[in-house]
Structure 1
């Protein structure tokens, strides 16, 4: 008797949950008298009042603007939580206000002539709000030149800065004054510094006028407005502004720092390629606009004729061909197009992509590398011109890390803003180790919160993901960022010949191609939803500072459910101040063994956060807290995924141990072994809530005034069997509340499984 052919396995698409959440208003209560730390109130009255008097006496050396200066209000370590924001203290000064977060506290704007009265009020204030704040504020000091440089000497800053025409480049962040007269005074001071040539006239805007431009000619400098004029215009409209300025001498740098115009100054480090193969050259795939998504490859350009047919577009280059690192661009491009073909012994998905060429990175030997502001201005114009490229590959980094882990770099912040403005998902290399970075700290723009940051890793004898890459830099990122996000093979063959090359530059395009195809096949994609899906598919249960959450491919493409699992992915809009819950998510019978829960589960959720424009401490102004819950045998709500401890643990330990304010929440649990989990009921509940801090930055008094915040969710449940039953049973029970999340794939459920 002839054997029947084996049935091909059913490809089950990720499900899109269409069921909306139920909002709930949590109880709100004040701390009252219990918030006052009585044991240190008296001592702090005296200490803080004395500090204000001393600052008043020395105020002439602080370069006030509009009669105003900034104070750094530092909190005790037990008072970092937003609950203890010292509004009650600052209010004692009268015409004063909190304007921004600061290191271990807050930045307050205050008239100099109010300092003496402020000191007297601190000694006598009796309201609960004032006494609470006084007892929780550790110190008050002026924002002086040392604070602007973050304790670094002027000579050190000058030595670290990249040389540009006429001097050296520095990223500056202007002081966040709310008072109109103070802002005008800052502007006048900066203009005066430029007139006296303490700031050189430079131009950060790039013109992409392609009408009569010769083939291959680079973008030209737009001299219609200087860099200083641009930042001044932004500063008049916003609380703060940032720019890259050219400073001619170390003396001029010292004068600018002492002028009282800056919140922060950072030396600009060169942007470059810090990467340290080829077998038989695989034939490039035939171009197909229908099946090959376009990735913008922001690199050294592209010249390989064999890949010309896969080039969807070529942008006007930022750097001339003679100085662009075309060799590196060719290598990265070959991996973007079909990395699996160059490395057919490795476990890689067989996905082909087209590419758009964005030549923006110079050779390491060149002294003509574009400044960060010119690069950002150029990339914004590229985003407008080529909106079809939703995934950008950025396999480059600054050659030096950002100073410390409290501040986000100029480049990291600006690329995040660009990504959010144009709904782009940047895929960025974590960077590679070098002599100037002994701590192996990741290098900008790997501190971009909106990006997927990629590290390298090795592979085993079966071509599957294995140990750490010895070349890649390490996380975490600033202000609690869990970076890198993902990791993939960094020792790979590519266009260019020689032995396999190693570097995070080459792991990055492997993620880019997978992300681009995920973006292309989802019905209603967003950068955060694609990002959440790739993080969900990664194998590590806990975040690693070397490998992130792991590698997002283990044989099943991200938009499909592997046998024995079901994934739901969706987006929602949540208003801060409300708790939301998705009720009646059915517990699949395949997770129930001997009356107990047994299996695996993952919950990934990503918030599009509000950010502090100062790029400093408390960078994230909104946060997300999520959990998948069930009822225990006593009928009480318990957490299967997520601890919900972020709101109950002490603030500092919640930041350190739980990455409380990082907008990516990823909870994974294996409960398939031992005795399982006892439960009652027949359904899960997913609970989510957005919280806000430092509302004074947005000039609102209630977090609900911030409006809806976008969140992407991915929930995966896995049974102990590889059968598709869990997928079918979940879809059947949710019925009209789910649909296929994938284009052109109807939801077909095997009701007999």
Structure 2
């Protein structure tokens, strides 16, 4: 049974830089930044370690070595990046962040002079940094590459023709001559038979006159794994290579030679066994890996799922009136929707549940809307600490000729969600004789993730819209639904279930695991990541932005060939806010032009009108990803500035101007000529109708919270597209960290 204990290779990243109106030069370090109690002992310790490195018989490449700078725990921050010491002046260069410090390229014959500088410098900036560096050591005695149990590595790897298969990351020197030296050593190791390449370049071809695709494994010498990797390594320092090693000693020799940064065993790939039984085995509770989803429905009466109940709220409706069957079905899908539907592409995620029995059968007297709102506030207020996602597969009936204003239930649910920091996941509703044209409340809740249904195709992947599910948009042209998923599913009892309720259940599980995996989640950040992980580039009234399982990836993991930054910020109204200096990865440049796919998502926690009619949203956010043209002007790569320039009615109708969700996608296929080395994100909060809140000026409006997700994807035909993640991490350095729990980003993953 799957849990979240699986490794995350390329986690979504948190951008740690604050917004600013323009690039500014910081004041720099001064006497106040010096840890005086550590300065003298660290001068002596670091100088000795550098002199030891100068005298150590280590393998050099073009006279260079790689060292690890470990910072004290209180000093691993952008302010204390040790570039004032490790720079060109001292024949050193920062390469990349590593756990607790930095990887540095250093010329060995410069170690003595650098040691003397550390002992004698009176420069305040340098002394501040010296007092904050814990140690300096060769990379190959650090835990990164040295100290490995080569026999254990050997035993863990898959066998292949008198050897075993490994992946190694070549030593990431920035110096071209050093990389050439590494390449020569790797080629020599291949000639001597210590390592052998693999024919792992696969393509799909179709012969002339044939209508059948064929799989082809490239076996030409230039297509084998080692040749391809060393070619790529000449251009990019962060390059892995897969090979067959003859014995464990071959691995040790690679490390001793300083040729590799990290070695991982390649394990056998096996097919998953799909159980034939229609009724899956019930999961076992695991509090560490199974987040809780609050289920606001007809209760849970199936004893087989009782172990998965984390809490039960007092019932709002009696057992005899509760929609027991629906509650059981929804619970089974939230807990283990994939296990019930092994024929469909659904993430294998397991959740525990909290039960809020509050929805009656259609033929029974249920609670009033006000009673339900009060109940939800009480229950959510009680359990919001451990239950962040709330499944709401119920609807308030509406009639098609009713004015499209914000519903009370949607508005009140919005207030509850914002007050307690939770994410309602709400079904858009199903066709009924009295309504086949508009969503049903509370699907119009601004703070909710609204879900519509869709069919599956022959391969079990998302397909056409569901014929039962209602369409959007919501009031004020609100982008609803945001996402869609399978609405024809098997659940408890084994029968086929059809409706947006069931699509909502499997979405709730994914949302809960997204919350669970993030270090600093917010409801809007989770929504933004799910939208970013969906496959559509434009909004559709029936499908939203699609299904948040694009390429079967999870929302907290970057797709291959892509890198995703996610962050939240509080923005004052009336100002442009800029996130400058977002590096342009080399994989995003082709023939001197920007080329690839960009996606920028921003979700605003808006100021809203309590009346819930026209102009429901009193604030909006405008965002764009920008670059510099060859002439030095700013242009937009994704997003538009037209919202505040077009006529108001046109801007609302064609640009969805006042929607709190902005999702801009652009395929830069032909390339954009540019200048400089960075991109920037800009954002601005615009208010309206301030009088209804007693405000007079923009300055009176409280700062607004905005969640941002930015994804850069290298073009599909780029030979080095997989390295875009490492490239951006290396260039951002301490301004980026893993957004995922218990994951330290390692640029050589």
TM-score between both structures, scaled by the size of structure 1? 0.63
Secondary structure of 1:317 counterpart:
coil
How much is the aligned-residue C-alpha RMSD, in angstroms? 1.7
2:543 — aligned with what? 547
Instruction: Note closer, same or farther for the CA distance 1:507–1:313 as it changes in structure 2 (3 Å cut).
Output: same
CA deviation profile, 1:517-560 (whole Å, cap 9, x unmatched): 11011011110110111011111111000000000013111111
CA distance in 2, matches of 1:525, 1:514: 14
- What is aligned with 1:447? 444
In structure 2, which of residues 606, 617, 620 is the aligned counterpart of residue 620 of structure 1? 617
Distance 2:628 2:721 in 1: 27
- Name the counterpart of 2:417: 419
SS of the residue 1:16 aligns to: strand
| Change beyond 3 A, Cα 1:401–1:553 | farther
Q: How does 1:490-529 map to 2 (within 5 A)?
A: 490-498=487-495, 500-529=496-525
Deviations 1:119-141 (A, max 9, x none): xxxxxxxxxxxxxxxxxxxxxxx
Are the counterparts in 2 of residues 475 and 546 from structure 1 also a CA contact under 8 Å? yes
Structure 1 position 677 matched with structure 2 position 675: no
**Structure 1 residue 714 corresponds to structure 2 residue 709:** yes
Answer whether contact 1:338 1:352 (CA < 8 A) is retained.
Answer: yes
Name which of 706, 710, 733 aligns with 1:735. Answer: 733
CA distance in 2, matches of 1:625, 1:374: 38
CA distance in 2, matches of 1:728, 1:705: 43
2:313 to 312, 315, 329: 315
State whether residues 406 and 617 of structure 1, in contact with CA within 8 Å, keep that contact through their aligned partners in structure 2: no
State the partner residue of 1:533. 529
Hey, what's the Cα distance between the residues in 1 that align with 2:500 and 2:584? 41
- How far apart are 1:453 and its partner, in Å? 0.2
Question: Residue 359 of structure 1 corresponds to which residue in structure 2?
Answer: 357
Match of 2:268 in 1: none
CA deviations 1:472-524 (Å, max 9, x no partner) are 001000012010110000011101233x1110000001110000011011011
CA–CA distance in structure 2, aligned partners of residues 580 and 404 of structure 1: 40
Secondary structure of the residue aligned to 1:641 is strand
Matches of 1:611 and 1:643, distance apart in 2: 24
DSSP-derived class of the 2:526 partner: helix
1:417 is paired with a residue whose SS is helix
Provide the secondary structure at the position in 2 that maps to 1:307: helix
**Structure 1 equivalent of residue 366 of structure 2:** 369
Counterpart-to-counterpart distance in 1, 2:317 and 2:401? 27
Give, in angstroms, the shift of residue 724 of structure 1: 3.0
Structure 2 distance, partners of 1:371, 1:466, is: 37
The structural deviation recorded for 1:314 is: 1.0
* Counterpart for residue 571 of structure 2: 574
CA apart distance, 1:24? 7.0
1:703 counterpart residue number: 698
1:609 aligns with 2:595: no
Structure 1 residues 148-205: Cα deviation after superposition (integer angstroms, max 9, x where no partner): xxxxxxxxxxxxxxxxxxxxxxxxxxxxxxxxxxxxxxxxxxxxxxxxxxxxxxxxxx
Q: Which residue of 1 aligns with 2:211?
A: none
Aligned to 1:599, the other structure's residue is in SS state strand
Q: 2:397 aligns with which of 399, 403, 417?
A: 399
**Cα distance, 1:402–1:607 mapped onto 2, change above 3 Å:** farther
Q: Residue 402 of structure 1: CA displacement?
A: 7.6
Q: How does 1:20-169 map to 2 (within 5 A)?
A: 20-23=18-21
Give the aligned partner of residue 561 of structure 1: 558
Give the drift of 1:678: 1.7
How is 1:165-564 mapped onto 2 (pairs within 5 angstroms)? Answer: 280-366=278-364, 368-387=365-384, 388-401=386-399, 404=402, 406-438=404-436, 440-498=437-495, 500-554=496-550, 555-564=552-561
Give unpaired runs (5+ residues) of structure 1: 1-7, 26-277
- Distance in 2, Cα, partners of 1:328 & 1:293: 22
Question: Any idea what SS the aligned residue of 1:475 has?
Answer: coil
Q: Secondary structure at the match of 1:711?
A: strand
Structure 1 residue 596 corresponds to structure 2 residue 593: yes
Contact kept, 8 Å, 2:439 with 2:470, in 1: the verdict is yes
Which stretch shows the higher mean deviation, 616-625 or 592-601?
A: 592-601
Deviation of 1:9 (Å): 9.5
CA distance in 2, matches of 1:328, 1:9: 35
**In structure 1, what is the Cα distance between the partners aligned to 2:479 and 2:425?**
15
- 2:671 pairs with 1:668: no
What secondary structure does 2:21 align onto?
strand
What secondary structure, in the 3-state scheme, does the structure 2 residue paired with 1:639 have?
strand
CA–CA distance in structure 1, aligned partners of residues 606 and 381 of structure 2: 23
SS at match of 1:22: coil
Provide the residue aligned with 1:218 in structure 2: none
- Structure 2: how far apart are the matches of 1:421 and 1:371? 22
State how far apart, in whole Å, the 2-side matches of 1:474 and 1:452 are.
14
Structure 1 position 457, deviation (Å): 0.4
Q: Distance between the aligned counterparts of 1:482 and 1:421, measured in 2?
A: 22
Distance 2:399 2:366 in 1: 17
The secondary structure found in structure 2 opposite 1:23 is coil
Q: Which residue of 1 aligns with 2:747?
A: 749
Aligned partner of residue 299 in structure 2, secondary structure:
coil
Contact 1:279 / 1:493 at 8 angstroms: preserved in 2? no
- Distance (Å, rounded) in 2 between the aligned partners of 1:9 and 1:495: 31
CA contact (8 A) 1:401 1:443 kept: no
Shift of 1:10: 7.0
User: 1:604 & 1:405 partners in 2: Cα distance?
Assistant: 30
CA distance in 1, matches of 2:558, 2:306: 35
* TM-fit CA distance, 1:597: 1.3
The Cα offsets for residues 61-82 of structure 1, whole Å up to 9 and x where unpaired, read as xxxxxxxxxxxxxxxxxxxxxx
Measure, in 2, the Cα distance between the counterparts of 1:633 and 1:341. Answer: 54
Against the structure 1 CA distance between its residues 404 and 639, is the aligned structure 2 distance closer, same or farther, given a 3 Å change threshold? Answer: farther
Contact 1:24 1:579 in 2 (8 A): no
Q: Give the SS at the match of 2:601.
A: strand
Provide the C-alpha distance between the structure 1 equivalents of 2:8 and 2:653, rounded to a whole number of angstroms: 43
Q: Is the 8 A contact 2:400 2:435 kept in 1?
A: no
Aligned residues: 487
Question: CA separation in 1, counterparts of 2:683 and 2:488?
Answer: 40
Task: Show CA shifts across 1:252-290 (max 9, x none).
Answer: xxxxxxxxxxxxxxxxxxxxxxxxxx9711011110011
Structure 1 segments, 4+ long, off by >4 Å, are 401-406
State how far apart, in whole Å, the 2-side matches of 1:630 and 1:9 are: 35
C-alpha separation in 2, matches of 1:542 and 1:312 = 38
